Amino acid sequence: MFATLSDRLTSTFKNLRTKGRLSEADIDATVREIRRALLDADVAVPVVREFTGKVRERALSAEVSGALNPAQQVVKIVNEELVGILGGETRTLRLAKNPPTVVLLAGLQGAGKTTLAGKLALHLKSQGHTPLLVAADLQRPNAVTQLQVVGERAGVPVFAPHPGNQGSDDVMPAGADPVAVARAGLETARARQHDVLIVDTAGRLGVDSELMAQAADIRDAVEPDEILFVIDAMIGQDAVTTAQAFADGVGFTGVVLSKLDGDARGGAALSVASVTGRPILYASTGEKLTDFEVFHPDRMASRILDMGDVLSLIEQAEKAFDAEQAEQMAGKLASGEGFTLADFLSQMQQLRKMGSIKKMFGMLPGMAQMREALDNFDEREVDRIEAIIHSMTPAERDDPKMINGSRRSRIAKGSGTTTTDVNQLLERFDAAQKMMKQMAKSGGMPGAMPGMGNMPGMGRKSRGRTAAPARKVRGKSGNPAKRAEQERAVVEGRPAPKAPTGSAFGLGQQPPAEIDPAALELPAGFDKFLGR
């Protein structure tokens, strides 16, 4: 979502790093570019003014002028101030001393409250809690049914005593009372000993008095420990206006950003924490129930500034990878022996558990420079590789060298791919095996990887396209006729006849046998010159 903002800021700092010392004019130009980048990203104007004012004040202070690297110091200041407008410190859900902890979800219609209720429930369930979902949105058509489906996918029970609106109009059905449903849900949670209660409330297409009144009545009925305002990160500047209206009408203790995987500018969502003074607790980053994470202001600032988010990547890896299996695999990789296609398939499947490969690569530092390549990356390629390996027999996975032409054809048909795809996979795997063996022997990265040529920056760069070097003929004959015969043999690809050893005047002669110095009649005292 913040790709445009990240690119603008990265470009600004790149120009800044070329200067050894920073003048006031350099800092003013940098702050001006930062201001334009934030405004283009749809960040609220008051937030931009406060942010750039603090950055300029600190950039002109002694902490930059006295630094060994002023450019890096300015980047550090921007990072710290960006963390500030994102909320400062990470805050998680506050649990009640006496369960159940009641969490009330509020927001506009279409913000993704119902799906987010399932994501939050699944997140809390993975931490050992026993959540209960309450369907208090009785006005939106099929909202209750949607929550029941989401709850079933998350493996969390749903309390829904009323079916809600089953028609097509956004009208509350007769006899429906969301306040009574929420109150009954709280009693059910206490009776069934659920330690977390998540109440899904109705939304509207805009802020109105009826929405505020209903949300306030549900709040008074269940007395929630947390009121989370769910905001669509793609709605632009209206996000700040809506958040302020909810803060004044109902009040909320935290913000949840939904649809953070969209391609909108999204800067307004970054303004919510600074404008309302409420922290951002969670972020929804995709359509799957697992695309949900705790919002860390410092990590989000690092992503925006293209510094990566390695900590989040490590946390996801710890959840997806089995520690014992990872240790065994590390031993195979270190030794360069025993790594098979079955191991490769297992590693790929565990990698898929971490989520989108594009997102994982995006968490690495400096990946903004490869954004175009990441955007063009087709994750279906991983599915094709899995299909090819699944089409192999266990023996073929353990020993790919036994895969001949007929086997390759069978594997291609079974996986729905072509023989060329199978050949490419086997060639890459063979090159990877050779590289691992070479690394195991040398104890580090080899200068030239097998099958990959020289690494960038190694060897001389060739200008233009050059022909392949001619095959050298060893032991060329001094006889023109025999030398011509040797050269013809090289062209035709057959072994060249070896030139006879010896001098030009002693062709065909065998080298003389070793002579014993004792058998020679030498002058007295000459033995010392023979080294004996």
pLDDT 10s digits, 305-321 = 766 556 666 666 666 66
Cβ atoms within 10 Å, residue 213: 12
What global pTM score does this model have?
0.63
Q: What is the pLDDT of residue 70?
A: 73
Backbone angles phi, psi at 158, to 5 degrees: -125, 130
Whether 236 has a binding-site annotation, put simply, is no
Question: Tokens 């950055």, residue?
Answer: 55
Average pLDDT in the 111-138 region? 91
Helix, strand, or coil (residue 131): strand
Give percent helix, percent strand, percent coil of the chain, each to the nearest 5.
50, 10, 40
Contact 56, 26 (CB under 8 A): no
Check pLDDT > 70 for residue 107. Answer: yes
Whether 284 has a binding-site annotation, put simply, is no
Q: What is the pLDDT of residue 493?
A: 58
Whether 20 has a binding-site annotation, put simply, is no
Whether 185 has a binding-site annotation, put simply, is no
Contact 114, 147 (CB under 8 A): yes
Q: What is the pLDDT of residues 382-438, one digit of tens each?
A: 788 888 988 999 888 888 888 888 999 999 999 888 899 899 888 888 887 777 777
Whether 112 has a binding-site annotation, put simply, is yes
Whether 203 has a binding-site annotation, put simply, is yes
Q: What is the pLDDT of residue 149?
A: 93
Please measure the distance between the N-terminal and C-terminal CA atoms of the chain and give it in whole angstroms. 84
Q: What is the pLDDT of residue 503?
A: 42
Burial class (CB in 10 A: 0-12, 13-18, 19+), 148: middle
Q: What is the pLDDT of residue 191?
A: 92
Nearest to 158 by CA among 128, 114, 202, 124: 114
Q: List, in order of start, the domains of the chain with CATH numbers.
A: 3-85 (1.20.120.140), 101-305 (3.40.50.300), 315-449 (1.10.260.30)
Contact 254, 226 (CB under 8 A): yes
Percent above pLDDT 70 for the chain: 66
Check pLDDT > 70 for residue 481. Answer: no
Whether 259 has a binding-site annotation, put simply, is yes
Whether 110 has a binding-site annotation, put simply, is yes
Contact 437, 336 (CB under 8 A): yes
Whether 214 has a binding-site annotation, put simply, is no
Average pLDDT in the 342-347 region? 78
Check pLDDT > 50 for residue 124. Answer: yes
Beta bridge partners of residue 449, listed in sequence order? 453
Whether 109 has a binding-site annotation, put simply, is yes
Whether 202 has a binding-site annotation, put simply, is yes
Cα–Cα distance, 423 to 327 (Å, whole number): 30
Backbone angles phi, psi at 208, to 5 degrees: -140, 170
Q: What is the pLDDT of residues 495-509, one digit of tens each?
A: 655 544 444 444 444
Beta-carbon-side half-sphere exposure of residue 310 (alpha carbons within 13 Å): 4
Whether 277 has a binding-site annotation, put simply, is no
Whether 433 has a binding-site annotation, put simply, is no
